């Protein structure tokens, strides 16, 4: 079945450091890919998405490129801030059986120190 | 419309008791999902509705769990004869159908079974 694998956390960085969170996926179809973020005490919210190969999703300085050849969707940010501290979830939406049910990775916690 | 609303936010119950959670989705959304999230894990799919029809259930959803969505609006998730292993965050999300459309999440109901 479909699955998403993320790098284990926590990822601990100093402010203004470069961030990469790795995500790879397995899917039976041609999925859409998403990054969601969960700030402390809040629900998951969409950060960015990409719907076809080589698409780049971007938002709030974060970027991720849909790489079909490597089945990856790594999240990057050039300069993180303390306010980026949160848990980041990679997800896909595929259509086994026609459902398009979002499938999530286990999440990667990011801690940014001043 | 202020987003997906879940009630209660927290529930502590004794083992063996029944509990019911409510989710009010974004009103225009015809899809509604229930997920379970345990510490350090991503959301795990439980079940989803398209309008009032429950279209798919995960193997995680034992026969002690039942979900309804009367009239295709709000949904309830009931757990009968709760067990300590049911302790988790229960998340509700809603969306339009289709592969590219994001799911909007509520803040969840945290269940603790003592």
Cβ contacts (< 8 Å) between A46 and chain B: which residues? 102-104
Q: What is the pLDDT of residues A72-92, one digit of tens each?
A: 999 999 999 999 999 999 999
pLDDT of residue B101: 75
pLDDT of residue A98: 52
Strands, E assignment, chain B: 5-7, 10-13, 19-24, 31-37, 44-50, 53-57, 65-68, 75-79, 88-95, 104-105, 109-113
Cβ contacts (< 8 Å) between A44 and chain B: which residues? 43, 91, 93, 105
- Provide, rounded to the nearest whole percent, the portion of chain A with pLDDT above 70: 96
Q: Do A89 and B43 touch (CB under 8 A)?
A: yes
Residue B58, pLDDT above cutoff 80: yes
The C-alpha atoms of residue A93 and residue B99 are separated, in whole angstroms, by: 6
> Band of the pLDDT at A42, cuts 50, 70, 90?
confident
Nearest in space to A23 (alpha carbons), one of A11, A41, A40: A11
């Amino acid at each position: 079945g479909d699955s998403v694998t993320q790098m284990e956390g926590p990822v601990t960085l100093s402010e203004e450091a470069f961030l990469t969170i790795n995500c790879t996926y397995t899917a039976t179809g041609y999925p859409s890919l998403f990054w969601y973020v969960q700030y402390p005490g809040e629900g998951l919210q969409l950060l960015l998405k990409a719907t076809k190969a080589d698409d780049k999703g971007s938002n709030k300085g974060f970027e991720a490129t849909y790489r079909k050849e490597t089945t990856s969707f790594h999240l990057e940010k050039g300069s993180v801030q303390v306010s980026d501290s949160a848990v980041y979830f990679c997800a896909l939406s595929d259509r086994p059986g026609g459902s398009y049910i979002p499938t999530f990775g286990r999440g990667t916690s990011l801690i940014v120190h001043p | 419309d202020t987003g997906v609303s879940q009630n209660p936010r927290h529930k502590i119950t004794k083992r063996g008791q029944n509990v019911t959670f409510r989710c009010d989705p974004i009103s225009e959304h015809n899809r509604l999902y229930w997920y379970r999230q345990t510490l350090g894990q991503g959301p795990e799919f439980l079940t989803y509705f398209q309008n009032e029809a429950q279209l798919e259930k995960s193997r995680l959803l034992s026969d002690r769990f039942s979900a309804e969505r009367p009239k295709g609006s709000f949904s309830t998730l009931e757990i009968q004869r709760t067990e300590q292993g049911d302790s988790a965050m229960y998340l509700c999300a809603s969306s339009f159908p289709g592969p590219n459309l994001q799911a909007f999440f509520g803040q969840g109901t945290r269940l603790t079974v003592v």
